[in-house]
């Protein structure tokens, strides 16, 4: 069989991308090197990852949000100001304090100081939230969904080589060979696809070694809960039982190929915390660094990159998974459109154009945190300024808007302030919402006035675009808008819709009529 797309890597990014492509009628093969992708490092609190607003919107717009929330470790309510409720791994009732809004370099953000009242198009609804979920739960959920859609998922096969030719790509994994038209590397920070294809991976070298461990302490009272900046780095006590995190500014001297022992971790914990705390037993442990690198382009010929294969950085601020999900949501419909033959000539180029700046921002966001965490007087001075700023409404709103992804906007042509932004989750008079209309992965041309100016365009045959003419409960002044399959607005108006203007935007993003 010749697949339309072969994806290297069966983590959340590769699986979500596979779902997007298969939903659009594209045949997909996912090759995952792990025979059993489950791991103690991925389950429960050890595998905890935060989901920001754009990631939650992505799952919501594909009808997966209820399943994601059901498996979450913690969730922020429909009103973001309500804060985050943390749950036990068994789905128990909330156990710890609300109002958690994230952190910047270990400096906690306070949701009580955040004000989104001036954001005209941010509406409350099912996706106006964030949460935390384990990698294992998310991967299992997405794998089941992918297989149900028809994705061919093969585990225990690592891509070791490929050969690109005029009509496609021959992919070698283990002792097997597979044929496809496109190859996407979603195979992590040490991506074999990226290296084999010769992508330039530019960036900066690490300054610290970070650790995440499950460890029982003899004297846990010696460590303060939460994030704690110290004279030598930072330690994180929690969330969840027996979860310890460390940042040790050792110039990344730790050999990550060696085993983390109880004795070695205890030495680092004592040095960083400045206490004589004792570890009674050590469960699983892993290390990471603040290496920050990014592919200079996300496409070379028939090979594309997404997720950690395209950009790596420290997990400070929790942007890694979210940036990868955003890559997959952006790339999926564009690659499918190219394969199906309805894409405008340069549509696939917009993947790098739109997502590369987001990846660059994530690298700089983590670099900025490292800069003020360094154990030196200058960094401490800057940190004190940042801490003071965070006590103000404007600064708190800025930091939360950035970390939550609510301020995400692509630089797209057009004058309306909504263009390039995620579409507001408008509620129709029949009780359905805009997000409900995106479950099939198609774009929307919305006429909110029922004035029929756009009906001729809407009824022009376009398999990839749906026309909806209906009134909403709160239009926020909008009369019409064009929404891409990924949920981002490419045309909007608050006056009488002009068909010619709408048609120009449709042809720009959806090609000419069939």
pLDDT digits (tens, 9 = 90+) for 144-203: 999 999 999 999 999 999 999 988 999 999 999 999 999 999 999 999 999 999 999 999
d(CA 414, CA 419) in angstroms, rounded, equals 6
In three-state secondary structure terms, 208 is coil
Domain end marker among 289, 314, 338: 289
Question: Does the pLDDT of residue 319 top 90, yes or no?
Answer: no
Inform me whether the pLDDT recorded for 384 exceeds 90. Answer: yes
DSSP string for residues in 422-468: BPP-PBBTTS-BGGGGGTTS-EEEEESS---TTHHHHTS--TTEEEE
Q: Which pairing describes strands 107-110 and 100-104: parallel, antiparallel, or unpaired?
A: antiparallel
pLDDT at 452: 67
Q: Kindly state whether residues 317 and 347 are assigned to the same domain.
A: yes
Give the span between the Cα atoms of 209 and 256, in whole angstroms: 9
What ranges in 464-513 are assigned the alpha helix state H? Answer: 499-510
Are both 118 and 254 inside the same structural domain? Answer: no
- 364 and 228, same domain (yes or no): no
Same domain, residue pair 250 and 377? no
Question: 348 is written with which tokens?
Answer: 């696939």
The residues pairing with 171 across neighbouring beta strands, listed in sequence order, are 162, 178
Examine the domain organization and report whether 358 and 488 are in the same domain.
Answer: no
φ and ψ at residue 513, rounded to 5 degrees:
-60, 150
Domain-embedded: residue 323 = yes
Whether residues 347 and 392 share a domain: the answer is yes
Q: How far apart are CA 16 and CA 36, in angstroms?
A: 18
Buried b (16+ CB within 10 A) or exposed e, 26-55: bbbbbbbbeeebeeebbbbbbbbbbbbbbb
Residue with tokens 């920001």, as numbered in its chain = 52
Express each pLDDT in 187-238 by its tens digit.
Answer: 999 999 999 999 999 999 999 999 999 999 999 999 999 889 998 999 999 8
- pLDDT value, residue 87: 39
299 CB-contact burial (10 Å; exposed 0-12 / middle 13-18 / buried 19+): buried
Both 152 and 265 in a single domain? no
Q: Is 283 in the same domain as 323?
A: no
Count up the domains in the chain and report the number: 3
> Can you give the CATH number for the domain in which 249 is found?
3.30.70.2450
Pairing between strand 303-305 and 226-229?
unpaired
Whether 99 and 121 share a structural domain: yes
Task: Classify the C-alpha dihedral 256-257-259-263 as positive or negative.
Answer: negative
Contact predicate 237/244, CB 8 Å:
yes
Is 420 a member of any domain?
Answer: no
Residues 47 and 188 in one domain: yes
By CB atoms closer than 10 A (0-12, 13-18, 19+), residue 139 is buried
Domain of 484: which CATH number?
3.40.30.120
Count Cβ neighbours within 10 Å for each residue of 368-392 and write b for 16 or more, e otherwise. Answer: bbbebbbbeeebeebbeebbeebee
Instruction: Calculate the dihedral angle through the C-alpha atoms of 27, 32, 35, 40, rounding to the nearest 10 degrees.
Output: -130
97-128, pLDDT tens digit by residue? 334 567 899 888 888 888 888 888 888 888 88
Q: Is residue 413 one of the residues assigned to a domain?
A: no
How confident is the model over 238-264, as pLDDT tens digits?
A: 887 889 999 999 999 999 889 999 999
Does some domain include residue 122? yes
Does 79 fall in a domain? yes
Residue 357 lies in a domain: yes
Q: Of 254, 289, 324, which closes a domain?
A: 289
CA count, 13 A, side-chain hemisphere, 349: 4
The boundaries of the domain holding residue 477 are 434-510
65 and 10 inside one domain: yes
The DSSP call for residue 250 is S
414 and 509 Cβ atoms separated by less than 8 Å: no
Domain C-terminal end among 404, 425, 452 = 404
The DSSP bridge pattern shows strands 465-469 and 443-447 to be parallel
- Residue 419 covered by a domain: no
What is Dmax (Cα atoms) for the chain? 74
For residue 85, pLDDT over 50 is answered with: no
Which residues are registered as beta bridge partners of 178?
A: 171
| The predicted structure's pLDDT at residue 76 | 64
**Residue whose tokens read 């045959």:** 461
Are 90 and 14 members of one domain? yes
Evaluate whether 322 touches 406 at the Cβ level (below 8 Å): no
Q: What is the CATH number of the domain that holds 379?
A: 3.50.50.60
478: phi then psi, degrees, rounded to nearest 5? -75, 145
Residue 344 has pLDDT above 50, yes or no: yes
Q: Tally Cβ neighbours within 10 Å of residue 228.
A: 17
Closest CA to 506 of 449, 466, 448: 466
Per-residue pLDDT band for 429 (boundaries 50, 70, 90) equals very high
Residue 424 lies in a domain: no
């Amino acid at each position: 069989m010749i697949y339309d797309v072969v994806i290297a890597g069966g983590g959340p990014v590769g699986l979500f991308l596979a779902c997007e492509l298969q939903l659009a009628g594209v045949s997909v093969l996912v090759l995952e090197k792990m025979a059993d992708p489950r791991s103690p490092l991925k389950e429960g609190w050890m595998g905890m990852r935060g989901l920001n607003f754009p990631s939650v919107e992505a799952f919501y717009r594909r009808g997966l949000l209820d399943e994601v929330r059901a498996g979450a470790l913690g969730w922020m309510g429909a009103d973001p100001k309500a804060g985050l409720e943390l749950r036990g791994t068994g789905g128990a009732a909330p156990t710890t304090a609300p109002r958690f809004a994230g952190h910047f370099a270990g400096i906690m953000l306070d949701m009580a100081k955040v004000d989104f009242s001036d954001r005209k198009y941010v509406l409350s609804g099912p996706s106006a939230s964030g949460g935390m979920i384990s990698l294992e739960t998310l991967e299992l959920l997405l794998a089941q969904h992918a297989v149900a859609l028809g994705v061919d998922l093969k585990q225990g096969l690592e891509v070791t080589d490929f050969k690109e030719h005029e009509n496609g790509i021959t992919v070698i994994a283990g002792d097997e060979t597979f044929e496809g038209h496109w190859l996407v590397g979603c195979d992590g920070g040490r991506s074999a696809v990226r290296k084999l294809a010769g992508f330039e991976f530019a960036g900066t070298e690490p300054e610290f070694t970070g650790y995440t461990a499950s460890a029982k302490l003899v004297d846990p009272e010696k460590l303060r809960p939460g994030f704690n900046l110290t004279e030598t780095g930072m330690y994180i006590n929690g969330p969840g039982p027996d979860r310890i995190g460390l940042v040790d500014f050792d110039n990344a001297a730790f050999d990550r190929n060696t085993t983390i022992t109880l004795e070695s971790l205890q030495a680092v914990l004592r040095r960083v915390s400045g206490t004589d705390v004792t570890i009674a037993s050590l469960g699983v442990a892993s290390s990471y660094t603040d290496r920050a690198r990014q592919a200079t382009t996300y496409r070379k010929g028939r090979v594309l990159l997404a997720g950690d294969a395209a950009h790596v950085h420290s997990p400070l601020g929790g942007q890694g998974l979210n940036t990868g999900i955003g890559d997959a949501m952006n790339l999926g419909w564009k690659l499918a459109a190219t394969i199906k033959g309805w894409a405008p000539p340069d549509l696939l180029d917009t993947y790098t154009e739109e997502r590369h700046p987001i990846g660059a921002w994530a690298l700089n966001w983590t670099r900025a945190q490292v800069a003020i965490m360094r154990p030196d007087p200058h960094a401490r001075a800057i940190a004190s300024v940042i801490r003071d700023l965070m006590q103000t409404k404007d600064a708190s709103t800025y930091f939360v808007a950035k970390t939550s992804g609510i301020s995400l906007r692509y630089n797209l042509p057009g004058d309306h302030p909504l263009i390039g932004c995620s579409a507001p989750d408008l509620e129709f008079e029949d009780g359905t919402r805009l997000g409900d209309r995106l479950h099939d992965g198609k774009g929307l041309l919305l006429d909110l006035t029922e004035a029929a100016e756009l009906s001729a365009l809407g009824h022009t045959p376009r398999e990839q675009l749906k026309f909806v003419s209906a009134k909403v409960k709160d239009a926020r002044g909008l009369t019409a808008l064009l929404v891409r399959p990924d949920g981002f607005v490419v045309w909007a108006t608050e006056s009488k819709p002009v068909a010619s203007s709408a048609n120009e935007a449709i042809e720009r993003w959806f090609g000419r009529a069939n």
